[in-house]
Amino acid sequence: MYLRRILSGAIFLVFIVATTKASNAHFGLILPSDGIISQSDNKSITLEAKFIHPMERQYMELTKPKRFGVFHRGKQIDLLPALQEAKGRGPEQSEESTFWETEYLIRRPGDYTFYLEPNPYWEPAEDSYIVHYTKVCVNAFGLEDGWSLPVGLETEIIPLTRPYGLWTNNLFTGQVLLNGKPSAFAEIEIEYLNDSSDNPSVVVPPSDPFITQVVKADANGIFSYAMPRAGWWGFAALNQADWKLPYEGEEKEVEIGAVYWVHATDMQ
């Protein structure tokens, strides 16, 4: 009888862990204050680098990234020294987590792809490390010249849809690359950034599967998703790394994610 109670308790715990895992998709985020810079706009933009649950508005700790930079007209510029430490928490979180921010002055026309490689994040619930290579593209002064180029990360999403100037309900198509080659049938998790500044009201998902949308890439690593709301949308293509990292003396798997953020705007 006693054993049965322990057993049912254990099953309940496993259930909780399993459902928590399902509802909490991790996302690296680079959030620019503006995605399209025109002549009349402020040419100095702020960029926030975070590690979050976008739909559930929860922060996780982001230690100082390994790499943070911008790819513009074929050149990579290191912005890591410019990152400033900051603290933030979601409305239902009691403790603050670290994130990073910087200002960047857009001086020339063209596509600016900002990218981030974090240090591995240990996730006990998944018994795995997580490394999310994250990108976002800011366009300046009408020159649309670099958004479809790879930055050269271990894994990354290459947009096949121009990643800015998108209307709500547009289809975003991308290709997942792993070590420079298409990642066949990769799983892509998609979440809405509930804290988007142009979100008219906080979205309350009616049940867990609504939090994270899931699509599979085809044999060429190509996937599509139509974004049903104005604001920022994160696409995280997940793969297992072919390398491991030690945790307390044991070799552990590393989940590597290729994350891309795009913004949708309502037609008015």
The contact set with another protein (CB under 8 A) reads 39, 107-110, 141-145
Q: Name which of 64 and 73 has its Cβ closer to another protein.
A: 73
CB of residue 145 vs another protein: minimum separation in angstroms?
4
H or E segment and range at residue 165: none
Q: Name which of 4 and 107 has its Cβ closer to another protein.
A: 107
Distance CA 180, CA 201 (A): 39
CB of residue 197 vs another protein: minimum separation in angstroms?
26
As given in the structure block, the two tokens for residue 138 are 């800011």
Distance CA 27, CA 50 (A): 8
Terminal-to-terminal C-alpha distance of the chain:
65
Q: Name which of 144 and 253 has its Cβ closer to another protein.
A: 144
As given in the structure block, the two tokens for residue 212 are 């994270």
Distance CA 69, CA 72 (A): 10
Rounded to the nearest 5°, which phi and psi values hold at 227? -90, 115
CB of residue 103 vs another protein: minimum separation in angstroms?
14
CB of residue 58 vs another protein: minimum separation in angstroms?
38
H or E segment and range at residue 6: helix 2-23
Neighbours of 42 (CB within 10 A): 11
Q: Name which of 107 and 181 has its Cβ closer to another protein.
A: 107
CB of residue 140 vs another protein: minimum separation in angstroms?
8
CB of residue 144 vs another protein: minimum separation in angstroms?
5
Q: Beta strands 245-247 and 250-265: pairing type?
A: antiparallel
Q: Name which of 167 and 210 has its Cβ closer to another protein.
A: 167
Q: Name which of 96 and 145 has its Cβ closer to another protein.
A: 145
